[in-house]
């Protein structure tokens, strides 16, 4: 039997992290790697990850410290996770922790207590701009636990690295950046899919479509996007806003749509398995995230040939790509004006798609690049003694 690598993270069905795991780890399985997957998602857990290896599920306790039975839920979570980690340790020497924050470093501490030889922490987000004082203090404690117990330090972007690691750790030979990789050529623009899905969702072929893909959570800032769209459609009425995804804050966004009387102009598709096909209807991909990692949905959309307007909190890696405009998120009118400017721009969507796909390949945003980096990180598949 081969030694397994244990993967830990909050893998909900509609998260970018889950998409990263599904996209890139299938290639590793095909090359002989085996995995234990520990999923802590408490909202739409991605159980399709069972196809990658031995699957465990231990829903994360509620983050609201004022919530009912908070401490009991946390206690139960720790007990269950401890048992799972000890079981995984029977077949695994390495654990790879995909983390959004370090506010509760219990997974790192328990991995150490379970005697994993290698504890890899992976900074998968940057929440610097949305943390309050208390959260920043908790993050500081978590960084100390990383320094004490982790053996390898990975980040998806330099910004996420700064959020998780000290400059000293970033100079360590055990630190590296592994950026997101996608199946680039699969995102190629298809005119026939554009026309098909516009007809399916009742959108005229000449309507200007602004799209957004992602979970409905605070950091994605979709309410702000609704307000930007409201200003834009007042100067260009033949427009639609399409949201693809689901999440705990979807009703807040729906409520804002209702308040602005935009029900006829905003479409909520819900979670889709075929996002790569539906995104062909987008003229512009809008991503006003307050703070985040390296958005896979953004990479998908620009590879598909859509122009993109993103918040200026996004990684510098993205701003170097063609077709992306970066704007501050304190001025909705600025976003509306940019939507109008892009609406007036004329370009060949297929040619733009081919151009950006070439750029993404050149910059290493590919499955093959990520697979090569992960294989280097993990080493060759090992057999039990």
Q: Could you tell me the domains of the chain?
A: 4-181+366-378 (3.40.50.2000), 184-362 (3.40.50.2000)
Q: Which of 183, 201, 153 is nearest to 377 (CA)?
A: 153
Q: Where are the alpha helices (DSSP H) in 31-104?
A: 70-88
Phi, psi of 120 (to 5 degrees): -95, 120
- Give the pLDDT confidence of 267-309 residue by residue, as tens digits: 999 988 899 999 999 999 999 988 766 788 889 999 999 999 9
pLDDT tier for residue 63 given thresholds of 50, 70 and 90: low
- Give the pLDDT confidence of 69-86 residue by residue, as tens digits: 778 888 999 999 999 999
- Full-model pTM: 0.87
pLDDT tier for residue 193 given thresholds of 50, 70 and 90: very high
| Least confident window among 12-16, 98-102, 169-173, 326-330 | 12-16
pLDDT for the residue numbered 302 = 93
Q: Residue 208, Cβ neighbours under 10 Å: how many?
A: 20
Q: Residue 32, Cβ neighbours under 10 Å: how many?
A: 9
Q: What is the mean pLDDT of the chain?
A: 91
Query: What tokens were used for 133?
Result: 């004082």
Crossing angle for the helix pair 222-235 and 332-344, nearest 10 degrees? 50
Q: What is the mean pLDDT of residues 169-174?
A: 96
- What is the bridge-based pairing of β-strands 4-9 and 208-213? unpaired
Phi, psi of 126 (to 5 degrees): -130, 105
What whole-number distance in Å separates Cα of residue 91 and Cα of residue 365? Answer: 32
pLDDT for the residue numbered 2 = 65
pLDDT for the residue numbered 118 = 97
Q: What percent of the chain is helix, strand and coil (3-state, nearest 5)?
A: 45, 20, 35
């Amino acid at each position: 039997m081969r030694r397994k690598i244990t993967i830990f993270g909050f893998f909900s069905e509609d998260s970018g992290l889950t998409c990263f795991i599904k996209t890139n780890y299938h290639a590793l399985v095909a090359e002989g790697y085996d995995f234990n997957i520990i999923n802590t998602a408490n909202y739409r857990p991605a159980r399709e990850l069972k196809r990658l290896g031995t699957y465990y599920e231990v829903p994360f306790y509620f983050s609201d410290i004022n919530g009912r039975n908070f401490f009991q839920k946390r206690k139960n979570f720790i007990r269950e996770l401890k048992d799972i980690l000890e079981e995984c340790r029977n077949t695994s020497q390495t654990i790879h922790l995909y983390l959004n924050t370090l506010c509760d470093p219990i997974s790192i501490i328990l991995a150490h207590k379970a005697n994993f030889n290698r504890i890899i922490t992976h900074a998968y987000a940057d929440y610097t701009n949305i943390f309050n004082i208390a959260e920043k203090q908790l993050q500081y404690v978590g960084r100390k636990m990383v320094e004490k117990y982790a053996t390898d330090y990975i980040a998806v972007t330099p910004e996420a690295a700064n959020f998780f690691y000290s400059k000293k750790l970033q100079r360590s030979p055990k630190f590296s950046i592994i950026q997101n990789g996608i199946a680039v050529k699969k995102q190629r623009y298809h005119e026939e899919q554009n026309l098909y899905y516009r007809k399916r969702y009742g959108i005229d072929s000449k309507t200007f479509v602004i799209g957004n893909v992602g979970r409905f959570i605070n950091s994605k800032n979709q309410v702000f996007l609704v307000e930007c769209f409201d200003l834009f459609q007042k100067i260009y009425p033949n427009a639609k806003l399409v949201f693809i995804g689901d999440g705990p804050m979807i009703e807040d966004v729906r409520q804002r749509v209702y308040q602005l009387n935009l029900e006829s102009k905003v479409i909520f598709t819900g979670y889709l398995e075929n996002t790569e096909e539906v995104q062909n209807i987008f003229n512009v991909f809008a991503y006003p995230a307050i703070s985040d990692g390296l958005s896979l949905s953004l990479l998908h959309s620009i590879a598909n040939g859509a122009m993109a307007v993103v918040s200026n909190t996004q990684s510098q890696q993205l701003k170097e790509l063609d077709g992306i405009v970066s704007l501050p998120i304190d001025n909705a009118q600025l976003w509306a004006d940019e939507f109008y400017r892009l609406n007036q721009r004329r370009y060949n969507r297929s040619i733009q798609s081919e151009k950006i796909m070439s750029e993404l390949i050149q910059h290493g945003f590919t499955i093959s690049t990520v697979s090569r980096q992960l294989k280097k990180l993990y080493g060759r598949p090992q057999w039990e003694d």
